[in-house]
Chains A and B, each alone.
Chain A
Amino acid sequence: MKYFFKNIGYFLKEVGTILRLNPLSNLLSLVSTSLMFFILAMMIAGWWISNDVVEVIQGEAEINFYYHEDLQDEEIEELVNRVMTVDGVETALLINADEAYNRMVDILGKDAEVLKHFDDNPFNSFVEVKIDIHEIDAVISTLESIPEIENIRDNREILIRLREMGGLIKRIGLLVVVAVGVATLVAIAHIIRQGVYNNKEEINTLRLLGAPEGFIAMPFILEGLLLNLAGGLLAAVMTSFALMALYSQIQGPLPFIPMPPINGLIKGLVLMLILFSGTLGIAGSFLGLINSSKKGKIKVIKAMEQKK
């Protein structure tokens, strides 16, 4: 470390020389790492979004029930109050027929014209019950046992489907993280080994002049770090564009999907990409150096062994 800051300019210049000695394979490794990081980031974005969406929808988990039409107002009120005391129920709200009609008008928008074909309001009053998603089964079976309740509607299927999808994305995501990690590590290790090979004359001369191994290795570690960081940054740019395009595709026609705010998402992904690519870059460089220094050290070891 003592010679690191003194020589940082020299090390960076050396990195430049190493890169220039083999521009094509360095460029290719940059392209492939940035693509890998892009896939990784998109995977994580998908995971993040689906998690968020599931969470929001779960938070809004609700079931509706219809009661027997012959119930009196007091009986309805009593029923609603009774439902509110059920474990897992957060709120229960009576939606009368007029409100139900107005809601449908809102949802249909321009197409609300069709409702004019009815002479009467075709909708019934119902009770909207917000519940804790984890209690959904218990709540439904309790409600089913109440005789005044005629009919229950729930969105259990959608929720379960969403949760499954979230789990699947998570598993695939984990796989992609591992695969990208390993692939990047191997790619960087390989490029570093190539750099060491191309510079073996210089490395040998430095060794003969008594340069410490850390000093000799530093430009290669920096090379791996910078190459990977550049790949990570390129991926960050691609990811940002891709997400902005995705959001404009989804939010226009499907405004009710509760997507997480794009700024936070992009910021988080960029930070993750930088950390991930930097760490992998250094790790890959070490791997490449260990791999190529084995050959260099064999000579010394042999010389030592012979004495015995």
Chain B
Amino acid sequence: MIEAKNVFLRYPDGTEALKNINLRISPGNILYITGASGSGKTSLLKLFMGIEAPTKGTLNILGESISQCSSKDIQKIRTMMGPIFQDFRLIKGRTALENVLMGMRFLRFSTRSMEEMAHDALARVGLNHKVNSMVENLSWGESQRVAIARAVVRKPSLILADEPTGNLDKENAVKMLELLSSFSSDETAIIITTHATHLIEDFLDCRHIVMEAGNLMEKGWVEGV
């Protein structure tokens, strides 16, 4: 699903954000990425989404080699992903439903099934009462859940969540991670970055890697206590 070999990422200003990354992610994996601020977590997700291209090494995502593919191929890969951005990137002036629909309209869904799926996704994140609310009137947590609904509604092969626990207290952070894990399946891999290292230990059956100044360290499989 994702295979990185000796991948480097250097930003135009010379920052070496990622150094010699080797990583393999298979369908069904739930992967946690932790690490200090500035260690390269978001940069790694940007590589996976085709926002940045590796400056060195080979990166294969969902069957496409990122170094060789066209922007059309990147666009196609992106339709198979469910990104949940740190700042959510919801569109103001639109309802929660419209925000969920905006990622589906150009895919092969009929109008009717699209609406049904969007309602289901919003119900799944506990927002069936906010379907027609404007997103700018939603609380932070509600906005986050709209972003999740928009990401998962497309039945993506890869769900990418950047810092979903950032603003949450411990109890809600755990709930959030549980919600995200609930979307995992044999065909779907989930990648979550978080600062909340201590919480991950509560989760069974997940993979944990740690970033440190652009270097990746595999912590292996976390066993629940």
Contact = CB atoms under 8 A, between A and B. Distances in A.
Interface of A: 3, 6-7, 10, 17, 201-202, 204-213, 215, 297, 300, 302-304, 306-307
B81 A307 contact: no
Contact of A303 (B52, B80, B103): B52
A247 to B, nearest CB: 49
Contacts of A215: 105-106
By secondary structure, the B interface counts as loop
Given A17-B93, A307-B54, A208 B106 contact: no
Given A210-B75, A307-B55, 19 more contacts: A3-B105, A3-B106, A6-B110, A201-B91, A202-B91, A204-B89, A205-B91, A208-B78, A208-B85, A209-B83, A209-B102, A210-B80, A210-B106, A211-B105, A212-B106, A213-B75, A300-B71, A304-B53, A306-B10
A207 B79 CA distance: 10
B175 interface: no
B51 interface: yes
Interface of B: 10, 12, 49, 51-56, 67, 71, 74-81, 83, 85, 89, 91, 93, 102-103, 105-106, 110-111, 150
B106 A307 contact: no
B105 A210 contact: no
A256 B102 CA distance: 64
A23 to B, nearest CB: 14
Contact of A306 (B55, B110, B111): B55
A120 B102 CA distance: 94
A303 B9 CA distance: 10
21 contacts: A3-B106, A6-B110, A6-B111, A7-B106, A201-B91, A205-B89, A206-B102, A209-B79, A209-B83, A209-B102, A209-B103, A210-B75, A210-B106, A211-B103, A211-B105, A213-B75, A300-B74, A302-B12, A304-B53, A307-B53, A307-B56
